[in-house]
Amino acid sequence: MKRTTLVIALCVAAAACGAKDDYADRMAHEHRDDAPVANPMSEAEPDGEVTATEVTYATVEGRPITGYLARPEGAQNGPGLIVIHEWWGLNDNIRAMARRLAGEGYTALAVDLYGGAVAEDRDAAYALMKATNGDPSAAEDNLRHADRYLRQEIGATSVASIGWCFGGAWSLNTALLLPDTLNAAVIYYGHLVTDPDRLATLQMPILGIFGGEDQGIPLESVEAFSLALEGLGKEATIVVYPGADHAFANPSGHNYQPEAAEAAWSETVDFLASALGNDS
């Protein structure tokens, strides 16, 4: 079932609806006073015992690709998640989110699209994001390997992608890369594709989480994304939280907004359980 919440009404009032700024520049503006500090989203303990370790999930041209794998204690097979970091990189807060997702019953692989680099400030994050998005082939290869690893090496029965901000955009990109195999995608206020021709290949249910006050992801684009999916008959739930700014539910940073973040987490947990058939 598709649900669109408040998208049209909020877009009419949003000053950023017609914004044409470069995506990375808009993200830099949204994070102008931010830092990759832990917050309640990443400080929450997993709901259950988990195990976690660094793993090498691929080797490309002799170079190992590493990530962080968290699993429910004693888990055998079951659903898997490709967890995609914010623009700060694969830091300890993303590792904590992987453990938290594992506590919900998933084998969560936190991928690294920055090749081991982690940003400690806005300028470094901006540079890493620009470099990755400017030449996306390596990130695309990385995500294909992550899906293969979860399915073939771990034995995941189904796989979804989830990411925040930069990672939210790449969660959608993962769905577009793997339209016939990925089982679900969760997009937290990521840069959106709104061209129906590009979205037509998608076969999985999608959850999109957005903030009503987000100036970085214009609500005009959220509306266009929602309408395109609706017109294509895709299974999508698009939720806009009034009063929430960009990165309101990120695992890192000062933009955390508890009420909206907790509601979005509940929405995410329920969506994944339904989409992946997880009754843990």
pLDDT at 191: 97
What mean pLDDT do residues 11-28 have?
56
**Tokens 């034995």 -> residue:** 155
Dist CA 273 CA 264 (whole Å): 14
What does R_g of the chain's alpha carbons equal in angstroms? Answer: 17
Which residues pair with residue 3 across a beta bridge? 237
Residue 1 has pLDDT above 70, yes or no: no
C-alpha–C-alpha distance, residues 184 and 275, integer Å? 6
Residue 13: Cβ within 10 Å count: 10
How do residues 101-150 score in pLDDT, each as one tens digit?
999 999 999 999 999 999 999 999 999 999 999 999 999 999 999 999 99
Structure tokens at 69: 């794998």
Confidence of residue 22 (pLDDT cuts 50, 70, 90): confident
Spell out the residues 6+ positions from residue 127 whose beta carbon is closer than 8 angstroms to its own.
119
pLDDT at 62: 83
pLDDT of 215 higher than 60: yes
Decide if domain 3-274 falls under CATH 3.90.105.10.
no
Q: Which residues contact 242 (CB under 8 A, 6 or more apart)?
A: 6, 10, 212
Beta bridge partners of 85: none
**With 80 as the cut, is the pLDDT of residue 4 above it?**
no
CB 90 within 8 A of CB 110: yes
Mean pLDDT of 206-222: 96
Give me the pLDDT at residue 26, please.
94
Judge residue 117's burial from the number of C-beta atoms within 10 Å of its C-beta, 0-12 exposed, 13-18 middle, 19 or more buried. middle
Q: What share of the chain is helix, strand, coil (3-state, %, to 5)?
A: 40, 20, 40
Q: How far is the CA of 111 from the CAs of 90, 116, 163, in angstroms?
A: 7, 10, 10
What's the pLDDT score for residue 15?
30
Least confident of 3-12, 84-93, 119-128: 3-12
Residue 21 has pLDDT above 70, yes or no: no
- Residue 155 gets the label, from left (phi > 0), alpha (psi -120 to 50) or beta, of left
Amino acid at 15: A
Tell me: the pLDDT tens digits for 138-190?
A: 999 999 999 999 999 999 999 999 999 999 999 999 999 999 999 999 999 99
